[in-house]
Amino acid sequence: MNTLSLPLNIRRGGSDTNLNFDVPDGILDFHKVKLNADSLRQKILKVTEQIKIEQTSRDGNVAEYLKLVSSADKQQ
């Protein structure tokens, strides 16, 4: 069974509402945010490329299907 990794104070069920967001002194760690954004951008590019490959394959399959249907109609 997968369990989500939660901060210890939440797993304990404590009343402390500090979610430990890595925000030192109220200032975001912009380097970490930039790395996360770059990583997300790379994942988006990878998925976009995979979608293009799948669409090309689908288009080829549809063209082949239509060709076969047309051929079958002519034989009947």
SS3 assignment for the chain: CCCCCCCHHHHCCCCCCCCCCCCHHHCCCHHHHHHHHHHHHHHHHHHHHHHHHHHHHHHHHHHHHHHHHHHHHHHC
CA dihedral 46, 52, 56, 61 (to 10 degrees): 80
Q: What is the pLDDT of residue 3?
A: 53
pTM: 0.53
Q: Could you say which residues of the chain have pLDDT below 50?
A: 1, 11
| Number of other CB atoms surrounding residue 30 within 10 Å | 9
- Please report the pLDDT score of residue 1 as a whole number: 47
